[in-house]
Amino acid sequence: MPASHSGTTGFPTILFGAFDRHNFGDLLLPHVMRSLIGPANPFYGGLAERNLRIHGGHRVHTLARLAASVGDSAVDVIHVGGETLTCSLWEAAVMLQPPGQARAVVAMLDARPHERTVWAQAQLGIRDLVPYLLPAGIFANVRRVIVHAVGGIELGSVEPAMRAEVVAKLGAATSVGVRDHQTRAMLAENGIACRLEPDPAVLVAELFGPCIRRRARQGECARIVSGFSGGYLAVQFSADFGDDDTLSQLAAQLERIARARALGMVLFRAGAAPWHDDLACYQRLAARLRGTPVVLFESLNLWDICALIAHSQGFVGSSLHGGIVAGAFFLPRLGLLRPAQPPGTSKQVAFAAAWGAAGAPAAVIVQDLADGLDEAMATRTAQRRELAWEWAKACRSAFQLVQEN
């Protein structure tokens, strides 16, 4: 394994997060963090050995392997963000399985809490209840632990032992930043002082704009961009939207939008890991869009997805990072609430409450999609551009404060 040192400190730097599985935001975040830390060659740490470079991600190593590699050297560990404060050991282990195996193990163990915990511990080789926060004692010599822009909006509803572990781990960290008011308030109630920081993905256009524009001129992206002369809407939704009634309502709303705005619909997956987006659900939706130009975007490459969003007329979906990328490129965006989902449990709503939504609703139920998109489309480009600049400025300022400590 090659040496890895931070360009600003000279210490080995480990970026730690959930980029060991296919999820759009988790694949993007370490690229942003890698740019922010300057001339460095960091390690990428996760819970499993993975090589996601074919999808634009990284080669990821387990923390145990990285600990053996760095030995007694002092290390900096940076948590790169994501909704990691409420990701349980069971959830993490399932999401790291191939989809078929994940379905089988969930069917077998989901209703058997003790057995599923034993299975998850054996799968990941750890006993931590909150595995995407650094386990104590795994590295011999930790100089700094930086927790950057993490989320945990449902921290108040997790089991007490899990919440206690989050509080203990964050209490031992050098620096803690969270991306929304809900998470910050919950941690404050438990004695953890933390900063409010935007999700690092707000910098995607500033850091990677030229790369993304080049990507749009290649392959599948180029065919889609040129194939919709009137433009298209980038549409994404998780498997939670996959029941027949919800898909029929979604199709009706998208057809109304397509007729009113002469737009095509491009359906894309923002995550292929278990419990993310289900290809079959997209195929069933496409079959319902009989009178609407629709394409199912096949690529799972991070940069293809960025290019697809950046060259659209706007984004609609349940992915927080899909919306953030659209916003970073000054585009209209609208989040989707799962059926019966309270707005208070929406990452999109929480992020907008902290960082703004340019005058549009942050997220709506499926039945309100067309009206909500009208509001999003009515926002001025200048207003959306100003918000994107404010996001980027706040993100850089927050990271600068961390580096100075």
With respect to residue 175, please indicate whether it lies within any of the assigned structural domains.
yes
Tell the burial category of 402 from Cβ atoms under 10 Å away from its Cβ (0-12, 13-18, 19+).
buried
Residues 258 and 363 in one domain: yes
Give the angle 189-81-338 at the CA atoms, nearest 5°. Answer: 80
With respect to residue 404, please indicate whether it lies within any of the assigned structural domains.
no
Please list the alpha-helical segments (H only) found in 262-362.
279-288, 302-310, 320-328, 347-355
Residues 52 and 186 in one domain: yes
Residue 158 structural domain: 13-88+129-197
Residues 175 and 52 in one domain: yes
Across the 405 residues of the chain, what is the mean pLDDT of every consecutive 10-residue run? 48 94 97 89 96 97 96 95 96 95 94 95 95 95 96 95 97 96 96 96 97 94 92 97 97 97 97 94 97 96 98 98 98 95 95 94 97 97 97 94 72
For residue 271, give Cα distances in angstroms to 1, 165, 291.
28, 28, 27
**Residue 287, both tokens:** 């079959």
**Residue 258, both tokens:** 């397509």
Residues 343 and 222 in one domain: yes
What is the crossing angle of helices 302-310 and 204-215, to 10°? 90
With respect to residue 6, please indicate whether it lies within any of the assigned structural domains.
no
Residues 167 and 242 in one domain: no
Residues 251 and 293 in one domain: yes
Long-range contacts of 224-230 (CB under 8 A, 24+ apart): 224/266, 224/295, 224/297, 224/308, 225/311, 227/264, 227/295, 228/263, 228/264, 228/266, 228/293, 230/262, 230/263, 230/264
Residues 144 and 168 in one domain: yes
Domain count for the chain, please give it.
2
Q: Which CATH number characterizes residue 380's domain?
A: 3.40.50.2000
Look at residues 162, 197, 232 and tell me which one is the last residue of a structural domain: 197
Residues 32 and 70 in one domain: yes
Look at residues 168, 197, 226 and tell me which one is the last residue of a structural domain: 197
The count of residues in the chain is: 405
CB 266 within 8 A of CB 224: yes
With respect to residue 1, please indicate whether it lies within any of the assigned structural domains.
no
Residues 221 and 177 in one domain: no
**Residue 30, both tokens:** 């370490």
With respect to residue 72, please indicate whether it lies within any of the assigned structural domains.
yes
With respect to residue 257, please indicate whether it lies within any of the assigned structural domains.
yes
Q: How far apart are CA 228 and CA 129, in angstroms?
A: 47
- pLDDT value of position 41: 87
Residues 233 and 185 in one domain: no
pTM, 2 dp: 0.95
Residues 81 and 162 in one domain: yes
With respect to residue 334, please indicate whether it lies within any of the assigned structural domains.
yes
- pLDDT value of position 400: 85
- pLDDT value of position 1: 53
Look at residues 158, 176, 197 and tell me which one is the last residue of a structural domain: 197
- pLDDT value of position 2: 45
Residues 178 and 76 in one domain: yes
With respect to residue 4, please indicate whether it lies within any of the assigned structural domains.
no
